[in-house]
């Protein structure tokens, strides 16, 4: 594990976030996804600081050392956008560069779209911005995967996935991380569960890697497992349970594009890009941006791209940031 940065407890939008803050210069806010933490950005913090940026890396609400509101609706996208905007203000800035991965990518994309005056530029990893469709995304997924397991559908019933994942956080992390990585063998089912019936559980059939892939050490697993042992998985899972609510609360996203300088980074083996059969999501994103300065697809990389391929991610990220 890299050196642990200095943490601050920062009040924003009525809650407190634990935030790793380091460096001096223009503010970059790095937003993680599921099931992760600030630690997911451990390979980016020091390089960004060395490049002249001030870096703020929160545990998203529901995770790690941050507050964990109980209601499911406390994890809607409007609330998460407000957390980010409040964090920028709490750090004394009017604007920030936002960088997000997995659910962190929709958080930063929608913050940029809904609060454009607060966002200087935006980088999303793994999940492109595709606007707002006629139906909530979860409704589309339920139709597409009506005859087989899909993890987001499995996550909808409160308590079900929590019981499975909380039983052994270390095993959950190992299996979930490996199954969506570029190292996983093709056809093992992964998170999309292509080989599993609708009644399966998330971890059914997922290999427990031994040895671990080189990018995920035993120390890394222990850190994540310790965080989820104390927080539980519930807060992060509640993000998936707000997709209908998000759709209702943000009608403006049907038309609004990302106007700031933008960059997209993903691995060619990221299963997210193939969620919609017959379509590669990164091919459908271009109309939703007015200043998309690059789409970087890292050959052989999987879902956890900034952890799996940190050197290549940083090599794409730093020139974009310097070019602002």
Domain interval for residue 150: 7-322
Give the pTM: 0.97
Q: Which residues are catalytic?
A: 102, 303
Residue 1 has pLDDT above 50, yes or no: no
Q: How many domains does the chain have?
A: 1
How long, in residues, is the chain? 324
Q: Determine, yes or no, domain membership for 2.
A: no
Q: What is the pLDDT of residues 17-51, one digit of tens each?
A: 999 999 999 999 999 999 999 999 999 999 999 99
The verdict on residue 35 lying in a domain is yes
pLDDT above 60: residue 193: no
CATH number of domain containing 236: 3.40.50.1820
């Amino acid at each position: 594990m890299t050196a642990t940065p200095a943490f601050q407890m920062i009040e924003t939008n009525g809650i407190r976030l634990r935030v790793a803050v380091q460096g001096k210069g223009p503010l970059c806010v790095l937003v993680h996804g599921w099931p992760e933490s600030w630690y997911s950005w451990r390979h980016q913090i020091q390089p960004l600081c060395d490049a002249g940026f001030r870096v703020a890396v929160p545990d998203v609400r529901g995770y790690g050392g941050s507050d964990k509101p109980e209601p499911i609706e406390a994890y809607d996208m409007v609330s998460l956008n407000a957390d980010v905007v409040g964090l920028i203000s709490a750090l004394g800035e009017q604007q920030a560069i936002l960088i997000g991965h997995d659910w962190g990518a929709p958080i930063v994309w929608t913050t940029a779209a809904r609060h454009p005056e607060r966002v200087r530029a935006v980088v999303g990893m793994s999940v492109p911005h595709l606007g707002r469709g006629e139906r909530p995304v979860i409704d589309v997924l339920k139709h597409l995967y009506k005859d087989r397991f899909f993890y987001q559908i499995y996550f909808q019933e409160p308590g079900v996935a929590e019981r499975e994942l909380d039983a052994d956080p270390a095993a959950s992390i190992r299996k979930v991380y490996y199954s969506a990585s570029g190292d996983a063998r093709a056809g093992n089912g992964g998170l999309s569960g292509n080989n599993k019936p609708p009644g399966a559980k998330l971890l059914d059939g997922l290999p427990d890697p031994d040895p671990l892939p080189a990018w995920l050490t035993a120390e890394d697993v222990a850190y994540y497992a310790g965080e989820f042992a104390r927080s539980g998985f519930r807060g992060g899972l509640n993000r998936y349970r707000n997709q209908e609510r998000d759709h209702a609360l943000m009608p403006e996203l049907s038309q609004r594009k990302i106007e700031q300088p933008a960059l997209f980074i993903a691995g060619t083996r990221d299963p997210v890009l193939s969620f919609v059969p017959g379509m590669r999501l990164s091919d459908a994103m271009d109309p939703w941006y007015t200043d998309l300065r690059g789409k970087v697809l890292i050959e052989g990389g999987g879902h956890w791209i900034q952890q799996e391929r940190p050197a290549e991610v940083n090599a794409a990220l730093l020139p974009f940031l310097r070019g602002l």
